[in-house]
Chain A
Amino acid sequence: MKKTVYDEKTNAKLEALKKQYKDKSLSREERAEALKEIARVTYAADPRPAVSVRKQAVTNALLFFLDALVFGFIAVTDRAFRDSSAGNTLSIVLFSVMLIFIVFFVIRTGRYKNEPDDELSRENKRKASLNAFLTLLIVVAVVGLVWFEILEKTFTLDSRNWLGFFCCLVFAYSGLSNAIFLYIDGKGETEEEE
């Protein structure tokens, strides 16, 4: 693997920061600060075009929601398509589409550098994470209420579809977290013109 080479000044700064990070006599906060500074210095020295924190959140949200849809569809329709060739074909097609998106996503992200989080984005992501969890709880409760009580349908969780259902929830949470972060981060302001 090709080793990244920076100029002398950047290398010296990185060496000093790495030393600080490994120095166990310092407090955890000081060492964490050194790690954040390493990310910032590496980011500044990286010649690749940058992707902002907000743009990262947009692509992450889209990818996670797509994954949630695919896994959710497979989990819900598993019984209907069980042991049918059409069902197996459909599942393979959906997984393939999802894998293609993931590969495309990985290739694209390798060409860009990601802007590191700062204190405001970390705080907004913490808020978004909590709100996403609560939102997901409410959505699952409402969907369950409508599905079981109003529509009087059934849904059986068994050894085949539980993984799809679990993955659907995890990806839905991640997608929601990124979407709510975008809302919180952009709330009450427009792009400032200088």
Chain B
Amino acid sequence: MNEFTTRIKELRAARDMKQGELADLVGVRRETIIRLEKGLYNPSLKLAVDIARVFGCTVEEVFIFPEE
């Protein structure tokens, strides 16, 4: 499991966006979005930035790292 959680599912639901639609927007497969939402995959910096841009957020607002 990853050391961070993501708000992708929450942000997607707020915009009434399907996983497939988000996948098409950022140029990945739907399976990749599923894995990201479940925290099973570390995205590249480019993918993280692309997802954040789709939601109009910063990367830190999409990918939450626990406070040390």
Q: Encode A18-59 as 1/0 by CB contact (under 8 A) with B.
A: 000000000000000100110010001000000011100000
Q: A37-B27, A40-B27, A194-B19 are in contact. Are A119 and B44 (CB under 8 A)?
A: yes
Please tell me if B38 contacts chain A, counting CB pairs below 8 Å: yes
| A142 nearest CB across to chain B (Å) | 32
CB-contacts of B4-46 with A (<8 A)? 18-19, 24, 27-29, 31-32, 34-35, 37-38, 40-41, 43-44, 46
Q: Are B24 and A185 neighbours in the complex by a CB distance under 8 Å?
A: no
Q: Which of B18, B35, B43 has the most CB of A within 10 A?
A: B35
Chain A residues touching B, majority SS: helix
Interface range, B side? 10 to 19
| A126 nearest CB across to chain B (Å) | 14
Please tell me if A120 contacts chain B, counting CB pairs below 8 Å: yes
The size of the chain A interface, using a CB distance under 8 A, is 18
CB-contacts of A172-194 with B (<8 A)? 185, 188-189, 192, 194
CB-contacts of A73-116 with B (<8 A)? 115
Q: Are B18 and A120 neighbours in the complex by a CB distance under 8 Å?
A: no
A-B pairs with beta carbons under 8 Å apart, 12 shown: A40-B27, A44-B24, A118-B28, A118-B29, A118-B32, A119-B47, A120-B28, A120-B35, A189-B35, A189-B38, A194-B18, A194-B19
Residues of B within 8 A of A (CB): 18-19, 24, 27-29, 31-32, 34-35, 37-38, 40-41, 43-44, 46-47
